[in-house]
A and B are shown apart, each in its own frame.
Chain A
């Protein structure tokens, strides 16, 4: 037991048009500190749901199983408590907040998390300096801090903005939900570098992706294949390459 992230028998359902729909059907997953794990799997297998459930989205009802983070019962915590505890979710489709200045949003978030972690809040000057440096490292245009959160951002800009937030919030566990989708090769590399800069013995990530390309830059420790709400197969980095070439069909047939 690593005591970092432990998921056991996790089941969750969502209310879809009045019908309960079971999406997670007993997920077992253990991620030790300092590792990058990848979840692959066909569409609709429950990958995004897993990320939402771990981050605490209320629409999903956990019906069985446990998830602990640093030994704490993750499922009993509010979303903002999970964030304060060090969990970060890079959204597959980042949300727009009209009228909310990006820098102001980031600073409010960073200070909320710092407060919860018992750190001093950053003043505007210190924060802006930090934010500008982080944005520059991600090759983001300086005006993106002044624009409204994700409003009018291109797909690539939104994804970079997610990585910027991750950099500033300094999580110990990051879930990246298809952060590579819709990115060109250069953007992909920049995003991957952003994640790599966070890599440390105390930092782990769970990367949801369909593509090998991102993994060339990220160099994962473990690959998990998810299907029908379960992890059906786990392996080393070579598994991702195998899937990239052969698709999921073979693996699905094996477990069926």
Chain B
């Protein structure tokens, strides 16, 4: 099943890029010059065919960004980023890819193999080019199949009244909805990276689930028509009306190759009365090599608001990739009796650094939040859980339970827990539990004595450690995530 999904996804990407390729005739103009200024933003906006209000919004965000400074409070260290030394707009064009599997990084192929992806699908995922007029022999059926599957799903969604499309399409097709909600949860000026994203975002998803509708399927970017590789500045907005619900999957367990080093996504979720949003992420971007060279810088702002009574937002994330992760999916619990959840597994190996956690802001009465964060550090990596639980004066009866567990592998890594707890209401009940442990030699030897290889033993122990979080993932995702955890920690012991 996962492999099939991979195929579809990959095939879809192939199909789409060809389609877009047909659109972009002006090859000279497919990439904006380096640097960021108002002209570049105007170019992005006009290239996307955006209405005036969108451009104004971007320009305002840009002004805000200019006055801001990059945050330094996170426990991550990286050389200064030159924001003028990057391209902020590149039309989807076909980059020259490898000609055959022989040209693909063997390390990448090895990982595909471990994830159980068949050979012909590996070629697709690695972006091996097919000569003009020739089709991938095995994937032909898959092409037709995937198109029909995607079309079927789109029809089902339309019948249910669910809107699921690229954000740039939504700006044009559903301007009222986008205008009403964009930037209401994460204002442009919320932080340095959200301001940057607001000024230059080029890709992302828009989801709208109307009143009373349970979205008939789990949404993943794959099923979105015109999906392409995750953009550098992704912008996602999900609005779920009264009594409606949706489950959204982001990411892919197959390693993502990406030339862009800086990623700054913004995700906004809005849940009305009795609405529920489940947002699951598996992030496996390039973490850099074992010496800490290269790798993605991932500065993400994800926030959801439970506007309505009894609404619920649940974040589940498995973060194994990126050189730097700076990410705090949060919930604003405004509606009475609303519920926020955060389940997280963050794995760092080699020289990766992760500073991740959540914020639970209790505004309404009887709001509840649960935080389960599992941090695994190996190699020379550093991992920090940073979380805020804030109970405002009106949030009588608010409850929070937080559990942060850190697992250390080896003696050169670090794990840190930084919980901020602010309660302004006497009736609130807040619990915080934290543990730090190591995979002991005893545990490894015990498993190996029973016949498990060292890698399998580590995988088993780590998956056991993460069980409370993994069980929150949708089934197929969970199976892949388990394998991914093991792969991410390869070579971290012994």
Contact = CB atoms under 8 A, between A and B. Distances in A.
Given A108-B452, A165-B450, A100 B445 contact: no
A59 interface: yes
A99 B449 contact: no
A83 B463 contact: no
A79 B448 contact: yes
Contacts of A98: 464-465
Nearest to A114: B451
Contacts of A95: 440, 442-443, 445-446
A169 interface: yes
B484 interface: no
A155 to B, nearest CB: 17
A80 B446 CA distance: 10
A183 interface: no
Contacts of B468: 99
Given A98-B465, A99-B466, A89 B449 contact: yes
A79 B441 CA distance: 13
B460 A108 contact: yes
A7 interface: no
B461 interface: yes
A148 interface: yes
Contacts of B443: 95-97
Contacts of B450: 83, 105, 109, 112-113, 165, 169
Contacts of A103: none
Nearest to A113: B451
Interface in A74-102: 78-80, 82-84, 88-89, 91, 94-101
A89 B461 CA distance: 20
B446 A97 contact: yes
Nearest to B452: A112
B486 to A, nearest CB: 12
B453 to A, nearest CB: 6
A100 B468 CA distance: 11
B452 A99 contact: no
Contact of A116 (B451, B454, B467): B451
Nearest to B470: A99
A55 interface: yes
B456 interface: yes
Most buried by A among B452, B461, B465: B452
A148 B451 CA distance: 18
A97 B451 contact: no
A57 interface: yes
A78 B445 CA distance: 10
Contacts of A96: 443
A25 B466 CA distance: 44
Interface in B425-466: 440-443, 445-454, 456, 460-461, 463-466
Contacts of B447: 97, 105, 109
Contact of A97 (B441, B448, B454, B461): B461
Contacts of A110: 451
Contacts of B453: 80, 112
Nearest to A165: B450
A112 B447 CA distance: 11
Contacts of A84: 451
Contacts of A56: 448-449
A112 B456 contact: yes
Nearest to B448: A79
Interface residues of B, number: 23
B451 A99 contact: no
Nearest to A59: B441
B460 A100 contact: yes
Contacts of A169: 450-451
Contacts of B456: 108, 112
Interface string A163-199: 0010001000000000000000000000000000000
Given A112-B453, A112-B456, A100 B448 contact: no
Contact of A91 (B446, B452, B461, B463): B446
B452 A80 contact: yes
Interface string B464-483: 11111000000000000000
A99 B441 contact: no
B84 to A, nearest CB: 47
A56 to B, nearest CB: 8
A42 to B, nearest CB: 24
A97 B448 CA distance: 13
B462 to A, nearest CB: 9
Interface string A53-85: 001111100000000000000000011101110
A133 B251 CA distance: 43
Most buried by A among B450, B456, B467, B468: B450
A100 B449 contact: no
Contacts of A79: 445, 448-449
Most buried by B among A57, A109, A113: A109
A98 B467 CA distance: 9
A105 B449 contact: no
A167 B440 CA distance: 26
Contacts of B442: 95
B445 A99 contact: no
A59 B441 CA distance: 9
Contacts of A78: 448
Contacts of A113: 450-451
A83 B453 CA distance: 10
Nearest to A99: B464
B135 to A, nearest CB: 37
Contact of A57 (B445, B454, B466): B445
A211 B475 CA distance: 50
Nearest to A111: B451
Interface in B392-449: 440-443, 445-449
6 contacts: A80-B453, A89-B449, A91-B449, A98-B465, A99-B465, A99-B467
Given A95-B443, A112-B451, 15 more contacts: A55-B449, A59-B441, A79-B445, A80-B451, A80-B453, A83-B451, A91-B446, A97-B446, A97-B447, A99-B465, A100-B460, A100-B464, A105-B450, A112-B452, A169-B450
